[in-house]
Structure 1
Amino acid sequence: MSKSLLTDLFSILFIGVAFVVPQAYHDALLFTGLFALSGAVTNQLAIHMLFEKVPFLYGSGVIEKNFDTFKLSIKEMMMKQFFTKEQLEAFFHKEEQKIDLVPLVENTDFSPAFDALSKTVMESKFGGAVSLFGGESALEGLREPFSNKLRSAVSAIVSSSVFKAQLEHHIQGSALSEDMLVSIDELITKRLEELSPAMVKALVQELIKEHLGWLVVWGGVFGGLIGLLSAVVF
């Protein structure tokens, strides 16, 4: 049973009891129950009006009515809280320390590089001379030694301190960060466009109603206290 319903039932109980107790307690219980019920129902109506349009009540259905503003607020919150340029730079600086390109180089197939070299040789003025000794097939024996030499050279390059410093510089460069910010912004915008007003309303409604039950409870409590005070004073 929800907190809102319990508050309503207790308020009605006070009203009912007021008619069976001695006259001395009648006004206090009646006013307490009436004011408590009034406070609880008013807050329930206010919560309901956040999500649903109520005829003749201006401002109702505010969540659905301000759907576009709501989406924009979500995007701005995400960009400002999670995807600032400073946060991206800090993230990539941290990740850069973990980057080791040597295993990637070791598993790379350098055959295309040798094929390009072989083609270049055959198309050069030395191609005729090589053709006398078997043409491209004569160069095939160089494929593995060439690949190993090139692999070793590239591994040395990517593991050097100079290369790592340049890599860090480019990762932290403003152009990269700005490009990523634009891409992230576009991605978030695209995903938010997939949301419909009904989906957003259901999402927020489930979240808010779960936590705003206490608003109804305190509306009933303070309403009841005001009613009791009114009965005592007046």
Structure 2
Amino acid sequence: MNKSFITNLLAGACVVAGYFFDQSIVLSVGLFALSGAFTNLLAIHMLFEKVPFLYGSGVIALKFESFKVAIRDLILTEFFSEQKINNLLNKAQPNIDFTPIISNVDLNPAFDNLLEVIEQSQFGSMLGMFGGTAAIEPMREKFIEKMQLSLSEISQTDNFKALVNQTLSQGNSAQSLHVTVLKLVDERLDELTPKMVKEIIQTMI
């Protein structure tokens, strides 16, 4: 339910109660509240609607393009300037835990490639004397376990984290994010109409 309606309803109740029960203070409170509500509605109407012979009425509708430019400048200057976005990126360095990802990665192809390298090396013929790559196959599970452990340890080093942060920052530079925000703001403002702004203000009060 609209807050203004509830407020006006309570004010009206105060007027009625104050009048019938001869309570001047309650009556005055109700009248002041209703007069304030009426003044607000009148002011909003005059801002957005042209009233004949009333200078300055309908100023929002008449100057709406300038109004949108002012909103755009406010948003981009005070909230989403390139400098502010850059500061935010510098402060919000991501701390990604790669361990769950590494534990779910299939490292069997890595072991298969290792076998292929051994077969093609000078040790391949020597290995054939001991049953070929089948002799190394029992090492697969241990190899994968050790590889996952090593990758997890590497992912926790400061150098690796710094490299990840640097890569992410390059991919989401302040300039590119600023351009994206600028595009979103412009698209939204293009959809904005005086009627929508009027409804927003009416909802606020």
Superposition RMSD on alpha carbons, in Å? 4.5
**SS of aligned partner of 2:192:** coil
Deviations 1:127-147 (A, max 9, x none): xx8xx9899x99987765454
CA contact (8 A) 1:52 1:61 kept: yes
* Corresponding position of 1:65: 62
Deviations 1:155-178 (A, max 9, x none): 233222222333444555697111
Moved more, 140-149 or 155-164: 140-149
Q: 1:168 to 1:44 in 2, by over 3 A?
A: closer
CA contact (8 A) 2:81 2:178 kept: yes
Q: Distance in 1 between matches of 2:190 and 2:70?
A: 13
* Corresponding position of 1:75: 72
Structure 2 counterparts to residues 50-129 of structure 1, below 5 A: 50-57=47-54, 59-96=56-93, 99-111=95-107, 114-115=108-109, 118=112, 126=120
Deviations 1:93-127 (A, max 9, x none): 3332x61323344444235xx448748987xx94x
TM-score, normalised to structure 1, is 0.49
Q: Distance in 1 between matches of 2:194 and 2:105?
A: 51
CA contact (8 A) 1:54 1:60 kept: yes
TM-score, normalised to structure 2, is 0.55
Structure 2 counterparts to residues 75-224 of structure 1, below 5 A: 75-96=72-93, 99-111=95-107, 114-115=108-109, 118=112, 126=120, 144-170=141-167, 176-207=173-204, 210=205
Q: Which runs of 5+ in 2 are unaligned?
A: 1-6, 9-37
Q: 1:121 to 1:93 in 2, by over 3 A?
A: same
Q: 1:44 to 1:90 in 2, by over 3 A?
A: closer
Q: Distance in 2 between matches of 1:71 and 1:43?
A: 23
Counting matched residue pairs gives 166
CA contact (8 A) 2:47 2:59 kept: yes
Larger Rg, first or second structure (1 or 2): 1
Q: Distance in 2 between matches of 1:177 and 1:105?
A: 28
Which structure's relative contact order is higher, taking Cα pairs within 8 Å and 6+ residues apart?
A: 1
